Amino acid sequence: MYRYDEFDAALVRERVEEFRDQVARRASGALTEDQFKPLRLMNGVYLQLHAYMLRVAVPYGTMDSRQMRRLAHIARTYDKGYGHFTTRTNIQYNWPALTDLPAILEDLASVEMHAIQTSGNCIRNVTTDVFAGAADDEIEDPRPWCEILRQWSTIHPEFSFLPRKFKVAVIGGPNDRAAIRTHDVGLEIVGRDGNDTLFRVFVGGGQGRLPHIGKEIATDVRGTELLAYLTAILRAYNLLGRRDNIHKARIKILVESLGIEAFRAEVDRQFETLRDEDLRLPQAEVERIRAYFAPPAFETLDGSSGAFDRAVLADPDFARWNRNNVRRHRQPGYASAVISLKGLGEVPGDITDTQMEVVADLAERYSFDEVRAAYEQNLVLPHVKLDDLPSVWRALLAAGLATPNADLATDVIACPGLDYCSLANARSIPVAQALSKRLADLDYQERVGPVRINMSGCINACGHHHVGHIGVLGVDRKGEEYYQITVGGSPDEQAALGQIVGRSLPSEAVAPAIQRALDRYLEIREDGERFIDTVRRVGHEPFGEAIYEGLDAAV
């Protein structure tokens, strides 16, 4: 993984000092709250219902054990002993004091981490496939490009005061595990031309109040021209994006209102006059960064493992975890293991300091010192030998981290909702917990198979409800919490927005309604169909009927 050189290290330290100066000016009155707010947001600092919240960047989801241990240390020292992994592969702390934040940022800088641009109207933390560098369907590891984008977008002189936030995701092949079509810009590596990487570019995707699936704007942008092309897109957006209405300020609205053809013409016009020779990355720099992401020193193995096979036969619990949480690896004899942060009745994405220490130990010992954050609010050990999987599983089990539900019905994405968030209309966590308890039967979950259920506490859609196979959106109905359900959304290469199936439901009705929808799927599915396949075949109506079954009189 990437390591800071003296330039990177100096920048994050200087950023801490800059923030210290800003905090001092806020305290002295030299900055008003209105002036301070965008500055603190660009350092990841929110003011939520109960306290400040710090969102720490995990660039493209990659961490090592030293960083994970530092995150645990921060949770213990400055917070209440836990952190929350988000759908942007970042980690949030819910209780830090403003006066502690410079010290926390200094702690982060000491392990090559920061909270820069995890919020604010600027280019946000770049996300990617959690299995990057491990998946067997990848054309090229996307992470070197993520790191290049991280550096290029950091404290950008032209693009730090955009109309609204700007999110970029990158994938290394055709299978989209990073939801790139719901990002402001999505980049898909489609091939190579000599030494140069080719990118397909999507623009104008986004969730929130007015969700849009991104549109293809270019089919083969060369890696050497990537920064120039992104500059042209951002420049068109910065000059033309709406600033009069916060709900219409994202690039998706600009692309929608101009039409993709006119927007493409605008981008091309900007591209022609760019000083693109300056934005052309030196090949040596691309290679320097690529070298950091070279595959680790895998052993040559024959792809089978006696220890693993015996454990699968001997222990049905291990076998189940293996079935659901272990993913194929490009290197024979290795696998990637999903660490579910969706324990029965737990808060999706939460992890305690002691659990973080366990994960750090396992990463160090069994996964070439690497651990990843997934946008589904789980963690992944990317490179584990099959021989070691039983030991890894036993350690996870002891730490309460071996829930065998990855991608199943209780692997729910949920935002913090009204329990923490000042934007929320309704709580998300209790609804996710109720569903987790109701569907706790693992045999049932396995029978249903993979299904993505996503919950957001407001229309900002941090819980990705629009692209959940089943989506739940918290709404405020005259001071009461209600929940609107959508069916048929999908975040992948067949990206789609879910359809609202009917009126919103009270909190306690949500979990039973979702179970009825899953039961309906079990009744009507054809051989080999996943939940989403059935929805695509039959439409959302049968599921809507199931959701409202027996509710007419009650609501």
Partner 1 sequence: MKLLTANRLDDGRVIYWAEGGETTGVLREAARLDAVMAETALARARSRPDVFVNPYLVEAIDGVPSGRDRIKETIRATGPTVGNSLPHPASAGAR
Partner 2 sequence: MRLFEHGEIGPQTRRLTASTPLDQVEAAASDGAPIMIEFEAFRDGRGFSLATILRERGFSGSLIATGDLLPDQARHLMRSGFDAVQLRPGDDPAAWRRMLEAFSVVYQPAFDAAVPAWTSRGKSLRRPSNAPPIDEGTTLGRRAAELNAALRDADPLTVLRTVLDPRQGLRVAALSSFGAEAAVLLDLLARAGPSTPVIFLETGQHFLQTLSYRTTLSKRLGLTDVRIVVPDAEERADLDPREDLWRTDPDACCDLRKVRPLARAAAGFDALITGRKRYQSGTRARLRVIEALDGKLRINPLANWSADRIATYRAERDLPGHPLADQGYASIGCWPCTRPIEDGEDSRAGRWSGVDKVECGIHLGRRRAAA
SS3 154: coil
Contact of 172 with 138, CB cutoff 8 Å = yes
Binding mask 31-60 for partner 1 (x = CB under 8 A): -xx-------------xxxxxx--------
Q: Is 119 in the site for partner 1 (CB under 8 A)?
A: no
Q: Which partner from the list partner 1, partner 2, none does 27 bind, CB cut-off 5 to 8 Å by kind? A: partner 1
In the set 64, 350, 357, 407, which binds partner 1 (CB under 8 A)?
A: 350
Q: Is 7 in the site for partner 2 (CB under 8 A)?
A: yes
Enumerate long-range contacts of 8-15, CB under 8 Å, 24 or more apart: 8/112, 8/151, 9/109, 9/112, 11/154, 11/155, 12/108, 12/109, 12/112, 12/113, 12/114, 12/116, 13/106, 13/109, 15/43, 15/105, 15/109, 15/114, 15/116, 15/155
In the set 419, 492, 529, 545, which binds partner 1 (CB under 8 A)?
A: 419
Contact of 223 with 230, CB cutoff 8 Å = no
Q: Under rule CB under 8 A, how many of the chain's residues touch partner 2?
A: 47
DSSP state of 496: B
Contact of 498 with 465, CB cutoff 8 Å = yes
Q: Is 27 in the site for partner 1 (CB under 8 A)?
A: yes
Q: Is 30 in the site for partner 1 (CB under 8 A)?
A: no
Residue closer to partner 2, measured from CB, 9 or 51: 9
Q: Is 310 in the site for partner 2 (CB under 8 A)?
A: no
Q: Which partner from the list partner 1, partner 2, none does 52 bind, CB cut-off 5 to 8 Å by kind? A: partner 1
Q: Is 279 in the site for partner 2 (CB under 8 A)?
A: yes
Report residue 88 as tokens. 């942007």
Distance from C-alpha of 469 to C-alpha of 388, rounded to nearest angstrom: 34
Site for partner 1 in 420-439 (CB under 8 A): 420, 424, 426-427, 429-430, 433
Q: Is 80 in the site for partner 2 (CB under 8 A)?
A: no
The stretch near partner 2 (CB under 8 A) out of 14-22, 336-344, 464-472, 496-504 is: 14-22
Contact of 422 with 414, CB cutoff 8 Å = no
In the set 22, 62, 197, 456, which binds partner 2 (CB under 8 A)?
A: 22
Measured from the Cβ of residue 257, the count of other Cβ atoms closer than 10 Å reads 12
Q: Which partner from the list partner 1, partner 2, none does 481 bind, CB cut-off 5 to 8 Å by kind? A: partner 1
User: Phi/psi at 224 (nearest 5 deg)?
Assistant: -65, -25
Q: Is 95 in the site for partner 1 (CB under 8 A)?
A: yes
Q: Is 82 in the site for partner 1 (CB under 8 A)?
A: yes
Residue closer to partner 1, measured from CB, 47 or 258: 47
Q: Is 30 in the site for partner 2 (CB under 8 A)?
A: yes
Q: Is 66 in the site for partner 2 (CB under 8 A)?
A: no
Q: Where are the alpha helices (DSSP H) in 273-384?
A: 276-279, 283-292, 306-314, 316-325, 353-366
The stretch near partner 2 (CB under 8 A) out of 7-15, 100-108, 251-259, 458-466 is: 7-15
CA–chain centroid gap for 446, Å, is 24
Q: Which partner from the list partner 2, partner 1, none does 446 bind, CB cut-off 5 to 8 Å by kind? A: none
The stretch near partner 2 (CB under 8 A) out of 27-35, 56-64, 345-353, 471-479 is: 27-35
Question: What percent of the chain is helix, strand and coil (3-state, nearest 5)?
Answer: 40, 20, 40
The stretch near partner 1 (CB under 8 A) out of 93-101, 121-129, 198-206, 274-282 is: 93-101
Give the list of residues 6+ apart from residue 429 with CB closer than 8 angstroms, or none.
Answer: 347, 348, 414, 416, 417, 419
Q: Which partner from the list partner 2, partner 1, none does 121 bind, CB cut-off 5 to 8 Å by kind? A: partner 2
Q: Is 18 in the site for partner 2 (CB under 8 A)?
A: yes
Site for partner 1 in 477-496 (CB under 8 A): 478-481
Measured from the Cβ of residue 518, the count of other Cβ atoms closer than 10 Å reads 22
Q: Give residue for tokens 């590891």.
A: 141
Q: Is 261 in the site for partner 2 (CB under 8 A)?
A: no
Amino acid at 553: A
Site for partner 2 in 98-137 (CB under 8 A): 121
Q: Which partner from the list partner 2, partner 1, none does 239 bind, CB cut-off 5 to 8 Å by kind? A: partner 2
Q: How many helices (H) and strands (E) does the chain have?
A: 19, 21
Q: Is 35 in the site for partner 2 (CB under 8 A)?
A: yes
In the set 134, 162, 198, 414, which binds partner 2 (CB under 8 A)?
A: 162
User: Phi/psi at 465 (nearest 5 deg)?
Assistant: -65, -30
Closest CA to 348 of 322, 371, 374: 374
In the set 49, 51, 258, 281, which binds partner 2 (CB under 8 A)?
A: 281
User: Phi/psi at 249 (nearest 5 deg)?
Assistant: -95, -15
Residue closer to partner 1, measured from CB, 176 or 346: 346
Q: CA separation (Å) from 382 to 74, 80, 189, 393? A: 24, 29, 20, 14
Amino acid at 442: L
Site for partner 2 in 282-301 (CB under 8 A): 282, 284-285, 288
Report residue 471 as tokens. 């989506």
Q: Under rule CB under 8 A, how many of the chain's residues touch partner 1?
A: 36
Contact of 178 with 127, CB cutoff 8 Å = yes
> Any bridge partners for residue 85, and if so which?
91
Query: Which residues of the chain form contacts with partner 1 (CB under 8 A)?
Result: 26-27, 29, 32-33, 47-52, 80-82, 94-95, 97-99, 347, 350, 352, 418-420, 424, 426-427, 429-430, 433, 476, 478-481
Query: Which residues of the chain form contacts with partner 2 (CB under 8 A)?
Result: 4-11, 13-15, 17-18, 21-22, 25, 30-31, 35, 38-39, 121, 151-152, 154-162, 235, 238-239, 243, 273-275, 278-279, 281-282, 284-285, 288
